[in-house]
């Protein structure tokens, strides 16, 4: 047997060994073949179109005259609809495996998935003026909250925290419509672009600013009030998960903190727990670990370990005259 024949036989044998590890049914199991499920690339294309709607020029720079701007908006909307509508239709069936908040008592066979996808998109698109207003406030919050921001254009075109918040506001609306899968694809693309892991279920108020962005983690049931500012490395997370009688984590319960209005959380702080409330007007210092509530107008800081500095007797590279 030639080398090429040996290689072909080896590849065939490998494929046959792999075959039992894949399931071609419609069940939501780890072995599933995701061939007819939502296409992440199409979802991301739609998200980019919609981010460009909220932050014109951020995703697809182009010269837009004022007399053509209405055409620009219409094109972005129509392209986003075209990319997103089929992916939403494919995602709806996952309601029966996930939260099922709007589908209890209804089987997939009883629902017109095509019509449902149109209904969801209409509701989603109707929210765009309100989302745009929120993003404008987010731009102001970033500009006012960062002395390094010299222009609003700099904030809109360059700040990763603003991109993360704008994309989140879109994904969150789809999450509220009980749409599985698609919002999470959006949030994970944003995570890869900005370093911000912001779950689409998190509720975020007005004028939200994430400064520097990298390493921020905000969990699904987090509630954030108005005019909140957080820095890099902040985690708003859950404590250990309660388990059901079968040993599985209990889902759909409040697991993440509530941050009230006008709170500042400095770098690398960790705040955990669904019962934890950070009172309005509070400041959480850097490197704080917190799993209990604090009253309004609190200042929370960590005591630093003792710092010691000693000079080396036989140091290298510096003479006494330097």
Please give the share of the chain, as a percent, with pLDDT higher than 90: 69
Residue 264 φ then ψ, to 5°: -120, 130
- Give 305's pLDDT tier (boundaries 50, 70, 90): confident
State the pLDDT at residue 84. 97
What value does the mean pLDDT take over residues 191-207?
A: 98
* For range 45-65, the mean pLDDT: 87
DSSP-assigned states of every residue in 12-48: HHHHHHHGGG-B-SSS--TTB--SSS--HHHHHHHHH
What tokens were used for 90? Answer: 């494919």
Top-confidence residue, 35 or 116: 116
The closest alpha carbon to 44, from 144, 192, 213, belongs to: 192
Partners of 177 in beta bridges: none
Q: Is 197 helix (H, G, I), strand (E, B) or coil?
A: strand
The pLDDT confidence band at residue 85, using thresholds 50, 70 and 90, is very high
What confidence tier does 318 reach under pLDDT thresholds 50, 70, 90? low
Over residues 10-36, the pLDDT tens digits come to 999 999 999 999 887 777 788 888 778
Question: Whole-angstrom Cα distance, residue 52 to residue 176?
Answer: 22
Q: Angle 69-92/40-54 helices, nearest 10 degrees?
A: 150
Q: Is the pLDDT of residue 122 over 70?
A: yes
Asked if pLDDT for residue 173 goes beyond 50, the answer is yes
Alpha-carbon gap, residue 284 to 290, rounded angstroms: 9
pLDDT of 133 strictly over 90: yes
Mean of pLDDT values over 185-196 = 98
Q: Which CATH number fits domain 37-104+111-195: 1.10.3130.10, 3.40.50.2300, 1.10.3720.10, 3.30.70.3270?
A: 1.10.3130.10
Least confident window among 37-41, 233-237, 311-315: 311-315
Q: What pLDDT does residue 320 have?
A: 60
Question: Does pLDDT of 100 surpass 80?
Answer: no
103 — pLDDT class (breaks 50, 70, 90): very low
pLDDT for 65 equals 75
Q: Do the beta carbons of residue 229 and residue 145 sit within 8 Å?
A: yes
Q: What is the pLDDT of residues 257-279, one digit of tens each?
A: 999 999 999 999 999 999 999 99
Terminal alpha carbon distance of the chain:
76
Residue ranges covered by each domain of the chain: 37-104+111-195, 215-312
Residue 270 DSSP code: E
Task: Give the pLDDT mean for 60-66.
Answer: 72
Distance, CA of 114 to CA of 33 (rounded, Å): 22
- Does residue 99 register a pLDDT over 60? no
**How buried is residue 76: exposed, middle or buried, by Cβ count under 10 Å (0-12/13-18/19+)?**
buried
Q: What is the pLDDT of residue 93?
A: 84
Per-residue pLDDT tens for 277-298? 999 999 999 999 999 999 999 9
Q: What is the mean pLDDT of residues 127-156?
A: 97
pLDDT at site 258? 98
How confident is the model over 36-50, as pLDDT tens digits? Answer: 889 999 999 999 999
What confidence tier does 101 reach under pLDDT thresholds 50, 70, 90? very low
Domain 215-312 has CATH 1.10.260.40: no
Higher pLDDT, 8 or 242: 8
Q: Edge-to-edge strands of the sheet including 299-300?
A: 209-210, 229-230, 264-265, 283-284, 299-300
Distance of alpha carbon 174 from alpha carbon 122, whole angstroms:
11
- Please give the mean pLDDT across all residues of the chain: 90
Interhelix angle 160-176/40-54, nearest 10 degrees: 110
């Amino acid at each position: 047997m030639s080398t090429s024949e040996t290689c072909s036989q080896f590849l065939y044998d490998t494929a046959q060994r792999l075959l039992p590890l894949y399931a071609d049914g419609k069940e939501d199991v780890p072995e599933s073949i995701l061939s007819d499920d939502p296409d992440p690339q199409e979802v991301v294309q739609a998200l980019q179109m919609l981010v460009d709607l909220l932050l014109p020029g951020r995703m697809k720079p182009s010269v837009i005259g004022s007399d053509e701007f209405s055409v620009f908006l219409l094109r972005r909307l129509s392209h986003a609809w075209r990319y997103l509508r089929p992916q939403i239709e494919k995602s709806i069936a996952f309601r029966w495996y996930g939260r099922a908040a709007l589908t209890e008592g209804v089987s997939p066979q009883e629902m017109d998935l095509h019509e449902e996808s149109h209904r969801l998109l209409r509701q989603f698109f109707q929210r765009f003026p309100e989302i745009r207003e929120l993003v404008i406030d987010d731009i102001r919050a970033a500009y006012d909250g960062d002395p390094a921001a010299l222009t609003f254009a700099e904030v809109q075109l360059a700040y990763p925290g603003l991109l993360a918040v704008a994309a989140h506001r879109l994904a969150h609306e789809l999450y509220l419509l009980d749409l599985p899968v698609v919002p999470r694809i959006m949030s994970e693309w944003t995570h890869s672009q900005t370093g911000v892991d912001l779950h689409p279920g998190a509720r975020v108020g007005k004028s939200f600013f994430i400064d520097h962005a990298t390493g921020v983690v905000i969990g699904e049931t987090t509630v954030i009030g108005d005019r909140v500012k957080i820095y890099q490395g902040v985690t708003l997370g859950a404590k250990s998960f309660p388990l059901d009688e079968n040993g599985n984590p209990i889902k759909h319960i409040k697991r993440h903190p509530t941050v009230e209005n006008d709170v500042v959380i400095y770098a690398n702080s960790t705040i955990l727990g669904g019962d934890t409330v950070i009172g309005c007007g509070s400041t959480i210092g850097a490197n704080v670990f917190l799993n209990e509530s604090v009253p309004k107008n609190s200042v929370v800081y960590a005591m630093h370990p003792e710092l010691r500095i000693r000079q080396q007797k036989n140091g290298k590279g510096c003479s006494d005259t330097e």
